[in-house]
């Protein structure tokens, strides 16, 4: 029976067939989440939420071709977030693209911890801010905060400023964007001894360590790699935290899983107490926290 004579419920949905084929193609290309990515790309082309994809039957004019182009790019390991132009992070949808590190779900756990320990109306500094994921999440979820986001890279700063200017709610406190090097002893020196909470997701991958094609080809190397041992940024950030934090203030810093022993020791040596290592979503050691107990002499 020709398809034109079939009842509507017997016509196979174009969208569902395309998604199934795309998922198979992405799986062959080694994409970690092929079905999810195939669905998100289809939802992007259709302009709907992923949850409404099941009721979509046809692409709009030109949509199928556009979908094929996006799937091809994803199969070539272009990051999904670059293709759709944004990355979800907690309650935010952040603009991302070439020149800025794409925020990962693991970092959401660092924000969970931060919100649990932050006092009312805290002063919070986010070093190596990138898209502003950490800073903007704290500002959105902890009204009354003063949040300062620090970023040195010119391209990343453009994305940070774009995200900071488009706050989720008009009631969110503005995030102060500072163009500065997180490792410079003079960065935010005017805030020394006043910060309640310092957060940082720095570059921490040891030079030469294998990374996924989406990372090696698209994330800025300066936001990923940090010297032979991956600690080239973490060490000076801890030193800067000693000066910035008030007595009793907290530091939370993300790190490589191989740093589960050394980062806690660096914190203790710098005068931090209550040092803890926290696991990520896969159970790997991913970030370390500690409380600053006393200021060192100048």
Share of the chain above pLDDT 70, in %: 93
Question: Is residue 7 pLDDT above 80, yes or no?
Answer: no
Residue 201 catalytic? Answer: yes
pLDDT digits (tens, 9 = 90+) for 72-113: 999 999 999 999 999 999 999 999 999 999 999 999 999 999
Residue 225 catalytic? Answer: no
- Rounded to whole angstroms, the Cα distance separating 27 from 35 reads 8
Q: Are residues 174 and 27 in the same domain?
A: no
53 — pLDDT class (breaks 50, 70, 90): confident
Q: Are residues 66 and 211 in the same domain?
A: no
Q: Are residues 50 and 101 in the same domain?
A: no
Q: Are residues 56 and 159 in the same domain?
A: no
Does the pTM surpass 0.85? The reply is: yes
Given 201, 203, 225, 272, the catalytic residue = 201
56 — pLDDT class (breaks 50, 70, 90): confident
Q: Give residue for tokens 């949808």.
A: 93
pLDDT digits (tens, 9 = 90+) for 237-287: 999 999 999 999 999 999 999 999 999 999 999 999 999 999 998 999 999
Domain end position, chosen among 28, 52, 76? 76
Q: Does the residue 81 lie in any domain?
A: no
Residue 59 catalytic? Answer: no
pLDDT at 220: 95
Given 34, 79, 122, 202, the catalytic residue = 202
9 — pLDDT class (breaks 50, 70, 90): very low
User: Which residues is 290 bridged to in the sheet?
Assistant: 251
The boundaries of the domain holding residue 49 are: 3-76
pLDDT at 167: 66
Given 59, 89, 101, 225, the catalytic residue = 101
């Amino acid at each position: 029976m020709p398809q034109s004579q079939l009842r509507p419920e017997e016509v196979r949905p174009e969208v569902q067939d395309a998604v199934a084929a795309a998922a198979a193609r992405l799986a062959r290309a080694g994409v970690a989440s092929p079905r999810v990515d195939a669905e998100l790309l289809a939802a992007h082309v259709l302009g709907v939420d992923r949850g409404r994809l099941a009721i979509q039957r046809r692409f709009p004019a030109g949509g199928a071709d556009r979908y094929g182009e996006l799937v091809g790019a994803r199969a070539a390991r272009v990051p999904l977030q670059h293709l759709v132009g944004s990355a979800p992070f907690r309650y935010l949808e952040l603009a991302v693209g070439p020149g800025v590190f794409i925020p990962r779900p693991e970092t959401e756990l660092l924000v969970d911890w931060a919100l649990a320990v932050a006092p009312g109306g805290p002063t919070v500094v986010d070093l190596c801010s990138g898209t502003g994921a950490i800073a903007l999440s704290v500002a959105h979820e902890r009204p009354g905060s003063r949040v300062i986001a620090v970023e040195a890279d010119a391209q990343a700063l453009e994305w940070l400023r774009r995200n900071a200017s488009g706050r989720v709610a008009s009631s969110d406190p503005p995030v102060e964007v500072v163009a500065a090097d997180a490792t410079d002893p003079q960065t935010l020196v005017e805030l020394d001894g006043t910060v309640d909470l310092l957060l940082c997701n720095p570059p921490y991958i040891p030079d030469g360590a294998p990374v996924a094609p989406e990372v090696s080809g698209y994330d800025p190397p300066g936001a990923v790699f940090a010297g032979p041992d991956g600690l080239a940024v973490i060490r000076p950030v801890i030193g800067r935290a000693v000066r910035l934090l008030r007595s009793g203030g907290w530091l939370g810093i993300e790190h490589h899983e191989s740093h589960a022993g050394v980062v806690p020791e660096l914190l203790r040596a710098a005068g931090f107490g209550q040092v803890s290592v926290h696991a990520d979503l896969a159970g790997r050691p991913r970030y370390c926290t500690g409380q600053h107990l006393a200021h060192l002499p100048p």
